[in-house]
Chains A and B, each alone.
Chain A
């Protein structure tokens, strides 16, 4: 008998535990939210993201956001980035070219700044979700010291529970087709040395969110 069969056989032979545990009637969301209007969600998201040590800059337009990005790049002439069509900044390609900034191969660990869009943002915890896929390499949000994430306020949903419910209702096949779905909540951190919080363990030490209307 294979190990698979013998393990399953043992489990099936056992008396099922917890038969008397009743189902939960009214499931709760972990964070209580009473105001779900878009502007409230936006304010909630910003507050929570800042608590996680993210920088959030509200940008009036794509041009404004591009300017912010160029300022963050400083003298750098190399950038890690998702393919530009995945970033909601029309005119970005020209602006980068004009500034003489090139996009490096995603595995280039020497580049300081990584630029991504996001797929969904969660107001309750200030998190954003990144789906991997063609043109959206995972390393861009992982290897650089500074992760710049561009999003629109319309991408904000109330919380993880609402997101999971929508995924289950609509796009569970899309979800399963995505090799890596990543929920990001702030810059990487560690407290392994004497419980002192240090930002920038193995991933980015800073996350800068550029938020478009």
Chain B
């Protein structure tokens, strides 16, 4: 997918001017956040916090041993009958998928939700090569019909109102008028059912890979993930190399926290543990299962101070908690991942220079870290990325000049005094509400009153006090 993160300012400006979208996003994120909070507090805050730390430890322990666990996972998956391929980047991953599809003379491909496939733009590659690709998650299907991209990692179509989806179904699929979400869902179900039954290859993502058992783990509420991995004769899963966990016990913790964090459910409706292709005498299930382990920039993150970002289990909680995401939705972030985790991994995966505004797309309120089921310190990483931006010369000229000026002034008592004097008298000549009509502070003061300067500076007060003139002192 092309990266438009550098257009963040203009994209978010137009986003806040679409009130229906803002309302849909705010409603959805607020209710998801509320459900998440209830799910974490049913057994008390102390227990919820202990679980979060337990999940955090499981992910960090897995990352600590990542190369060994990948080798173990590979060996055990192979022993279970799963083929394992490796891809250093998106191009290689797509090439693997194309090769498999060609080997089997595939025509129709059914896909369940996979963020990695969005990341590497797989649909476009497959369609150009002449394959018929059907997104089967209801949200992703709507996105595909509308020719858009997902705006949330869990609820891809969070930015669309019911009316918009209805109009889309009527226009593109000839659905009869209805305002009932259940009827619209049933309509889509019938359409997609045909697609499932026709598909000769299924493509999925993967939520975890359990190293000790060689198991590919998938969750799905709608059941499309089950269809895609059960009905077609070939199943290909695209999984980031960071998704390995160590044991089935870790899975038991993580899978429950994932559901609670993402939607406030105690478990996703279907948590599937896939140990390979159909066994002898088994009726149904794919004949071939291939897991493609995708790096695409992850090993570079692994070898940096941002390794923590790889612990993410893509629950979407930080998006739902983020005031910036709530105000602008996901598309303004310009790439596959949005919200706080997107603001961190987009620059890391696509290059800092291609996403310079994103580390600033946060008020650093800290809520994202608090709700993260694996306690990722997103605010810390956003700050560090800002530091990297300055170090790499990506700070805007005005900022750099301003900060250099500030440094100069604050190092010289004479200049400091002079500037304070000038500011005091300068602010007296400003219009009512002390707005600054022009210059870099113009926009800033549009919605804020410039503070009034005190009649005496601290230096002056101090000097007076030292002279014993300050009669208010005891």
Contacts and interface: CB of A to CB of B under 8 A. Distances in A.
A18 to B, nearest CB: 4
A100 interface: no
A164 B47 contact: no
Interface residues of B, number: 107
B57 interface: yes
Contacts of B186: 200
Chief secondary structure at chain B's binding surface: helix
B356 to A, nearest CB: 26
Nearest to B311: A18
Interface in A180-201: 180-196, 198, 200-201
Contact of A138 (B47, B222, B257, B284): B284
A17 B275 contact: no
A18 B279 contact: no
Given A23-B61, A32-B47, A180 B270 contact: no
A185 B268 contact: yes
Interface string A1-20: 01110111011111111110
Contacts of B189: 200-202
Contacts of A132: 278, 282, 284-285
A196 B285 contact: no
A23 B269 CA distance: 30
Interface stretch (B10-18, B177-185, B321-329, B338-346): B177-185
A196 B282 contact: no
B432 to A, nearest CB: 45
Contact of A8 (B57, B67, B215, B229): B67
Interface string B261-285: 0010111111111111111111111
Contact-residue size bin, chain A (C-beta under 8 Å from the other chain): 35 or more
A11 B25 CA distance: 38
Contacts of A125: 256, 266-267
B266 A198 contact: no
Contacts of A13: 303
Contacts of B281: 134
A179 B366 CA distance: 42
A60 interface: no
A114 interface: no
Interface string B143-174: 00000000000011110111001000000000
Interface in B51-94: 51, 53-54, 56-57, 60-61, 63-67, 70-71, 76, 79-81, 86-88, 92
Interface string B119-152: 0000000000000000011110010000000000
26 contacts: A3-B86, A11-B67, A11-B241, A17-B302, A17-B307, A18-B61, A31-B43, A134-B283, A135-B283, A137-B282, A139-B230, A139-B231, A160-B255, A172-B248, A176-B213, A179-B278, A186-B269, A191-B263, A194-B24, A194-B181, A198-B185, A200-B185, A200-B186, A201-B189, A201-B221, A203-B270
